[in-house]
């Protein structure tokens, strides 16, 4: 399993990669633009090309993932928001493809009370258009949600419904967030519960579509339906339960990326990565013992 972290973008793409390398991350995740703004960052093509070369020669970082802008809502019934979301997704995916990203993680958005069925055609059209424009070099990874409001992806069935409506497009995958799972009501407090969860995902979506994990503890209790990340071992999930999922034998080919606050609230650092590695090792040991 590759263990990595979200890295800050201050100073540009090369600086973000250097931060990941400095902390010894096996994988990194970054935003291709401001995470909370519509305006795209104008990356020089030579900078994008150079990033690919730098990552190929990084002593630690073996994979880069990108995260799409938070404002995107492909399910929005408001025409202006929907069109801006489509354009923003296309821009994010173009940059992710250009730097050789292994996947662009996406929050699909919220149907705002209309229901998933009513918004599926909008979602699928936007996903297909972005993938075609980018050439499909970088997959889009739909992330599960904590379950607030009309957010899409609170269950494996909802993620499966989006993929099915897209005709099972193989360029669509899944990113599984441990905190979102917990907040949406799932439990993996025991090895048996973790195994049942993995089996449910396989049955609903297929483990072949699971491309990435987001590794986070939770500030809120199970079923709270709120997206609130906490440092590993300091939240309501705890290191043991996280280890049950992280150590599952069927997940060992995946990257697990930290999105925790970190010691001073500036994001994950070396100590958080060390904690992740300890939790992973303990989880593997528990699975070996059965």
Active-site residue among 19, 43, 67, 248? 67
Residue 57 among the catalytic residues: no
Active-site residue among 209, 229, 244, 248? 229
Residue 39 burial class via C-beta count within 10 angstroms: exposed 0-12, middle 13-18, buried 19 and up: exposed
Residue 46 among the catalytic residues: no
Residue 288 among the catalytic residues: no
Residue 36 among the catalytic residues: yes
Residue 107 among the catalytic residues: yes
Active-site residue among 8, 39, 70, 192? 70
Residue 169 among the catalytic residues: no
Beta bridge partners of 142: 106, 174
Active-site residue among 26, 158, 217, 227? 227
Between the alpha carbon of residue 57 and those of residues 17, 46, 133, the distances in Å are 11, 17, 29
Active-site residue among 180, 209, 248, 280? 180
Active-site residue among 19, 171, 214, 244? 214
Residue 227 among the catalytic residues: yes
DSSP letter at 221 equals -
Residue 56 burial class via C-beta count within 10 angstroms: exposed 0-12, middle 13-18, buried 19 and up: exposed
Identify whether the C-beta of residue 29 lies closer than 8 Å to the C-beta of residue 66. Answer: yes
Task: Report the candidate in 73, 82, 38 with the shortest Cα–Cα distance to residue 149.
Answer: 73
Residue 244 among the catalytic residues: no
The C-alpha atoms of residue 94 and residue 114 are separated, in whole angstroms, by: 30
Active-site residue among 26, 82, 171, 177? 177
Active-site residue among 143, 158, 217, 272? 143
Residue 248 among the catalytic residues: no
* H or E stretch covering 233: none
DSSP letter at 229 equals E
Residue 259 among the catalytic residues: yes
Active-site residue among 26, 158, 259, 272? 259
Residue 67 among the catalytic residues: yes
Between the alpha carbon of residue 149 and those of residues 117, 154, 214, 225, the distances in Å are 15, 10, 21, 9
Helix (H, G, I), strand (E, B) or coil at 175: strand
Catalytic residue positions?
Answer: 36, 67, 70, 107, 143, 177, 180, 214, 227, 229, 259
């Amino acid at each position: 399993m590759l263990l990595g972290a979200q890295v800050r973008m201050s100073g540009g793409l090369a600086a973000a990669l250097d931060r990941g390398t400095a902390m010894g991350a096996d994988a990194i995740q970054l935003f291709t633009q401001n995470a909370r703004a519509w305006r795209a960052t104008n990356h020089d093509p030579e900078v994008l090309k150079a990033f690919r070369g730098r990552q190929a020669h990084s002593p630690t970082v073996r994979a880069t993932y990108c995260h799409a802008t938070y404002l995107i809502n492909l399910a929005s019934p408001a025409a202006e928001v929907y069109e801006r979301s489509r354009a923003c997704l296309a821009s994010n995916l173009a940059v992710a493809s250009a730097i050789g990203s292994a996947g662009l993680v996406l929050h699909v958005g919220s149907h705002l009370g209309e229901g998933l069925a009513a918004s599926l055609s909008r979602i699928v059209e936007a996903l297909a258009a972005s993938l075609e424009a980018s050439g499909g070099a970088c997959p889009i990874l739909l992330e599960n949600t904590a379950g607030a409001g009309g957010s899409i992806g609170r269950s494996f069935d909802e993620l499966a419904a989006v993929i099915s409506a897209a005709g099972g497009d193989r360029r669509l995958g899944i990113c599984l967030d441990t905190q979102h799972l917990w907040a949406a009501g799932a439990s993996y407090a025991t090895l048996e519960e973790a195994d049942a969860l993995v089996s449910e995902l396989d049955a609903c979506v297929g483990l072949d579509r699971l491309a990435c994990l987001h590794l986070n503890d939770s500030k809120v209790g199970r079923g709270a339906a709120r997206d609130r990340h906490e440092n590993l071992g300091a939240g309501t999930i705890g290191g043991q339960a996280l280890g049950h999922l992280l150590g599952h034998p069927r997940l060992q080919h995946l990257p697990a990326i930290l999105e925790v606050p970190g010691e001073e609230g500036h994001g994950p650092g070396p100590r958080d990565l060390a904690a992740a590695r300890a939790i992973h090792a303990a989880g593997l040991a528990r699975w070996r013992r059965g």
